[in-house]
Structure 1
Amino acid sequence: MTDKTHENLDRLLQTGGVKLGRPQCDRLGWLVGQYGAPTLDLSESPRAGVIILREPLSGAAAELFYRSLTPGCTVVIPASENPGFDFLKSKLTEFGTVGPSGADGPHEMWWGGIGWSKFLTAADASTVRPRIVSCYPRGDATAAFALRHSLERFDLPCHIEPIDTQLDDRVLCFEKAEFMLRMWSKYREPLLFVETDATFREAPLLPSFLGCDVALHKWNRWEMSARTLYLGRTERAEMLLRTWQRLAASYPAIWEGYLLDQAWSLTSSQVPLDTVWLPRSYHALKGDLGAMRATILHSEQTTTLDLGPDPGFAGIARAARRAGRTGPRDAFMIMTSKAENGTGIAVILRDVSASDAGAVAATVEAVTGAYAADCGGYGRLELTLCAWQDDVGAAREAAAHARYRILEIAPGQRIANDFFVAHASDDAVMTARHLFP
C-alpha cells in the first residue's frame, strides 16, 4: 500500500471515528488493493469495494444489506468484538480477524464477504510457497505414501517424517506441537501442517497469498481443527505456536482442537494476530459433497469423533467462535505494564448486547487509554466483554481464580485517566483498614 493510500485511509477512518492499530490498517489497506475504494456510507451499497460497518444491523436491515452485496464487495467490521454484529456475520462468509493491539488499536477487526471465489482464483498467482510438514508414528512405513505422491505434481517443498510417539496409532497434541516447533526452527518458509492421511488436489496457496499470521479451519464454524494449520513467518505466529505447545505439554489429555482454541484466544488478546479462517475446501473430508472440489482432502469420514468433542462441550464458546471472537470467559484484551507490582486487574464490561455499539467501543477505548496513561501499579489488565449476566458470572469466576482485582463497569460509564490509580488507592485503604482496624 502506498503512502498516499495510507494517508487517505487514515483520513477516512478518522472522519468516521474508527480507531484501528497499524496491523489492522495494513490488512484494511490490502483489502482496498484487492476490492477497491472503501466507504462508510451504507445509503447506497456499492457493487464493488470495501464497506466499513460501524453499527450492527439486525433483522430486515441485515437481510437487505446481505442481499445487496456482490462477490466484488467485502465487509469490514472495525469493532467486531461486539456480539451485536454476530447476526450479520452468520450470513456472510468469514474470511478473517485481526486481534486488538492495546490502546493504539483497542478493537478486533473482522472481514468477510460473499464466498471465497475471488481469493481462490487470485491465489494461483502467489509467489510465496509454504513448506508442507507432517509427522506420523514411527513404524508405519506406508502412512505418508499417498501424501507424498499427491505433492509431487505441485513442486512444493515438504518435510514428512516418522516420530517417536507414546501411542502406536496416533500423534498426541503435545507431540505434534513439539514437531511443529522443530520445523519452525529448521526452515524459513511459512509452514503448512497437514495430517499424513491427507492428499492434495490443488496447490494450497491461499494462506500465503493472503499473507496472514495463522490460518485454520473451524469445523461446524466453531470447533478449531488442527488437521490443517498454516503458520506465516511472523513473531505473532510463533507466539501462537509456543503458547499451543505449552498448553499441550501442561494438559496432554485434552483434545488438541480445544487447546488450539485456547492458544488462539490468549494470543489474539495480547497481540494483533492476523487470522484467516480457511474455507472447507482446505479441510474437506472423505464423503463430503464438495470433496471433488477440495484443495486438501482428509481421509476421515464425515464425523466429529476425531475432530471435536461431544455436542455439549464448551457451549459458552460456540456463539463467540462462530463469529470469530473471544467468548465471555476469555479476556477480549490483555495489556501489561512495567509496574513492579505483579498484581492483575480484571475489568468486566457488562450489558454489551443491550447497549449502543458506539458507547461500547468508546468505553473500551477509555479503559485501555486510562491503563496506558497510568496503570495504577497493576502489572496486568484483562478486559472482558459480557453480553448477559451469566457471562458476567463466568468472567468473575475466571478472574477470581487468577486472584485478580475485579471491577465491573457499564457501557457509557465515565472512565477518567486516573481510573486505575483511584482504584489502586481504594485497595490500599482497604488493606490498611484490614491490618490496622
Structure 2
Amino acid sequence: MTDETHENLDRLLQSDGVRLGRAQRDRLDWLVEQCGAPIHDFSECRRSGVIILKEPPSGAAAELFYRSLTPGCAVVIPGGENPGFDFLKSKLAEFGTVGPCGADGPHEMWWGGIGWSKFLSTADSSTVRPRIVSCYPRGGNANAAFVLRHSLERFDLTCHIEPVETQLRDRILCFEKAEFMMRMWNKYREPLLFVEAGAVLREAPLLPSFLGCDVALHKWNRWEMSARTLYLGRTKAAEMMLRTWQQLAASYPTIWEGYLLDQAWSLTSSQTPLDTVWLPRSYHALEGDLGAMRATILHDQQTTTLELGPDPGFAGIARAARRAGRTGARDAFMVMTSKAETGTGIAVILRDVSACDAGAVAATVEAVTGAYAANCGGYGRLELSLCAWQDDVGAAREAAAQARYRILEIAPGQRIANDFFAIHRSDEAVMTARHLFP
C-alpha cells in the first residue's frame, strides 16, 4: 500500500468516526492491497474495491447492494457485533472476523463478499506453507492415514501423521485431538493445518496461509464449527485459542469437539483481536457433495449432528449469532481487565441493540469501554454483552449471575461518564452498608 493510499484511508476512517485496533487495521490494509481503494459511492461497486459499512441496509436496499457487488469487491463492517447487520451478512460469503481490541478498537470487524473466487485464484502465490498434521487411533485402521499421506505426495508440503493412544479403539476424543495439536504446536515452528485422517487433498491448501490469519476453520450449516480442518498461524492469539480449547477439552472430555471449539473461539475472540477466517466449503467438502470435484480437501465421512454439549438449548442460542460470525447474547462480546487487585467482575448488558441505529449502539460500546479504561471503579474484569431481545437479556443475566458478577443493564444512547464504574461501585457500597446497618 502506498503512503498516499494509507493517508487517504486514515482520513476516510477518521471522517466516518471508525475506530479500529491494530490487528483490524492490518486486515483492512491487506484488503485494500488486494481489492483496491475504498469505494465511497455504492454505484461504483461494479468495479473492485473495499466497501466500509457503518449502518446496515435493510430490505430492498440490501438486495440492491448485494446485486451491485462483483467478485473483486470486499465488504467490511467495522461494527460487526451488531445483529442489525445479520440480514446483509446472510446474503454474502463470510470471509472472516477480527475480534475487538479493547478500548482502542472496541468493535468486531467482519469482512466478506459475494464469493471466494478472487482469493482462491491468488492463494497459490503464498510463500508461507503450512505443515499438514493429522492423527489416528493406534491399533485402529491405518489405511485412512495412508490415503491422506498419499494425496500429499504431489504437493510441496511437509507433514506429520502419527497414531495416538485413545480411550476408544475407533475414535479420537476431543481432548486427545487437542493434546495432539498442542504437541505439534510445541514441536514445529510452521503454521499448522490439521486435516482429519482419511481426507484427500485435491489441491494445495494454501488459502489460510495466504490470508495470514490467526485461525481458520469451517462452519458446516454456517454455524456449527468443525475441527476436521483447522488452521493455526504462528501467533500468540492462535496459541491462546489452542490452549483454551485444550483446557476445555480436558475439563469436559466427553463433549463433542465442535461445541468446545465454538466455546474456545468465543472466549478467545472476546479477550484478544483474534483474526479468524471462515473457510469455504471447498476446504470441508464431503464425498457426494455437488461441489466435491472442485474440493481442495475432501473428507471421506459424512458429518453427523451429535450431542452439542450439556446445554440442550445451546444450538438455538448460538445458531443466529454464529451464522453472522459473532458471539451470542449469553457469550460476552468483549472482555476487559484492569489492574485492580479485587477479583470482582462486572457484567454490562447493552439491551435493545436491534431497535436502535448502529451508530448509537457503537457510540455506547465505545463510551463503556472508554469509561472502564479511564476508571475501572475497582472492578477487576468487565464483560460486555449485546442483546437484541428480552430473551437475550435473560440469558446474559443468567450467565453473569452464575459467574457471581455485578450486573448493569444499559440502553443505546445512555450517557456514560468517565466515572461511570466508580459511581456504580460507590452506590453499591452504600447499598451494602444500608443492608448491614439498617
TM-score range, shorter chain: over 0.9
Q: Which residue does 2:37 correspond to in 1?
A: 37
Task: Work out the CA distance in 2 between the residues paired with 1:8 and 1:24.
Answer: 17
CA shift, 1:3, in A, is 4.8
Q: Take 1:392 and 1:311, find their aligned partners in 2: how far apart are those partners?
A: 19
SS at match of 1:38: coil
Number of the residue aligned with 2:60: 60
Match of 2:109 in 1: 109
**Residue 210 of structure 1 pairs with residue 211 of structure 2:** yes
1:120 aligns to 2:120 (yes or no): yes
- Shift of residue 142, structure 1, vs aligned partner: 2.6
In the other structure, the counterpart of 2:252 is 251
> Are residue 266 (structure 1) and residue 259 (structure 2) matched?
no
Alignment-mate amino acid for residue 156 of structure 1: L
What SS class does the counterpart of residue 260 from structure 1 fall into?
A: helix
Separation in structure 2 between the aligned mates of residue 329 and residue 243 of structure 1, nearest angstrom: 18
Deviation, structure 1 residue 255: 0.9
CA distance in 1, matches of 2:157, 2:428: 59
Q: Which residue does 1:83 correspond to in 2?
A: 83
Report which stretch shifted further, 13-22 or 137-146. Answer: 137-146
Q: Relative to 1, partners in 2 of residues 1:376 and 1:312: Cα closer, same or farther, differing over 3 Å?
A: closer
The residue type paired with residue 16 of structure 1 is: D
Give the partner amino acid of 2:153.
E
Paired amino acid for 1:342: G
- Which secondary structure state, in structure 2, belongs to the residue aligned with residue 154 of structure 1? coil
The residue aligned with 2:226 is: 225
Given that residues 240 and 268 in structure 2 are in contact (C-alpha distance below 8 angstroms), is that contact kept between their aligned partners in structure 1?
yes
The 5 A counterparts of 1:413-432 are: 413-432=414-433
The corresponding residue for 1:395 is 396
Give the superposition deviation at 1:313: 5.2
Identify if the C-alpha distance between structure 1 residues 290 and 270 changes in structure 2 by more than 3 Å, giving closer, same or farther.
same
Tell me the C-alpha RMSD between the 2 structures.
1.5
Alignment of 1:363-382 (within 5 A): 363-382=364-383
Determine the C-alpha separation between the residues in 1 that align with 2:305 and 2:12: 48
1:339 CA displacement: 0.2
Q: How big is the shift at 1:424? A: 0.5
1:405 aligns with 2:377: no
Per the TM alignment, residue 312 of structure 1 is displaced from its structure 2 partner at its CA by: 7.1
- Tell whether the 8 Å contact from 2:45 to 2:70 is kept in structure 1 after alignment: no
> Post-superposition shift, 1:9?
1.8
Q: Deviations over 1:331-369 (max 9, x none)?
A: 000000000011000000000001011000000000000
Contact 1:5 1:29 in 2 (8 A): no
> 1:18-57 CA deviation, whole Å, 9 max, x = no partner?
1111110110000000000013443653521000011011
Equivalent positions of 1:108-187 (< 5 A) are 108-140=108-140, 141-187=142-188
Q: Which residue of 2 aligns with 1:347?
A: 348
Secondary structure, in 3 states, of the residue corresponding to 1:181?
Answer: helix
Q: Percent identity?
A: 85
TM-score (norm 2): 0.97
In structure 1, how many angstroms separate the alpha carbons of the residues matched to 2:369 and 2:284?
A: 38
The question of whether the paired residues in 1 share the 8 Å contact of 2:143 and 2:198 is answered with no
User: Distance in 2 between the 1:380 and 1:146 partners?
Assistant: 49
1:330 maps to 2:320:
no
Superposition deviation, residue 291 in structure 1: 0.7
The DSSP-based 3-state class of the residue aligned with 2:348 is strand
Bigger mean CA deviation after superposition, 275-284 or 424-433: 424-433
Please give the TM-score of this superposition, normalised by the length of structure 1: 0.97
Amino acid at match of 1:424: R
Q: What is the rounded CA distance, in whole Å, between the counterparts of 1:41 and 1:365 in structure 2?
A: 27
| 1:317–1:172 Cα change, 3 Å | same
C-alpha separation in 1, matches of 2:321 and 2:106: 18
Deviation at 1:5, TM superposition (A): 3.8
Quickly say closer, same or farther: Cα 1:202–1:360, change in 2 above 3 A: same
Separation of aligned partners in 1, 2:350 and 2:40? 27
Q: Does the aligned pair in 1 maintain the 2:138–2:163 contact within 8 Å?
A: yes
* Counterpart residue identity of residue 113, structure 1: G
| C-alpha deviation, 1:11, in angstroms | 1.6
Question: What is the number of residues matched between the two proteins?
Answer: 436
**In the TM superposition, what is the alpha-carbon distance from 1:305 to its structure 2 partner?**
3.9
Residues in 2 aligned to 1:393 and 1:306: alpha-carbon distance in whole angstroms? 27
> What is the SS of the residue equivalent to 1:413?
coil
CA change 1:157–1:3 in 2 (3 A) is same
Question: Unmatched 5+ residue regions in structure 2?
Answer: none
Contact 2:5 2:37 in 1 (8 A): no
CA contact (8 A) 2:182 2:242 kept: yes
Counterparts of 1:432 and 1:387, CA distance in 2: 35
Amino acid at match of 1:59: G
Q: 1:40 to 1:338 in 2, by over 3 A?
A: farther
| Paired residue secondary structure (1:34) | helix
Once residues 229 and 315 of structure 1 are traced to their aligned partners in structure 2, the CA distance between those partners, rounded to angstroms, is 24
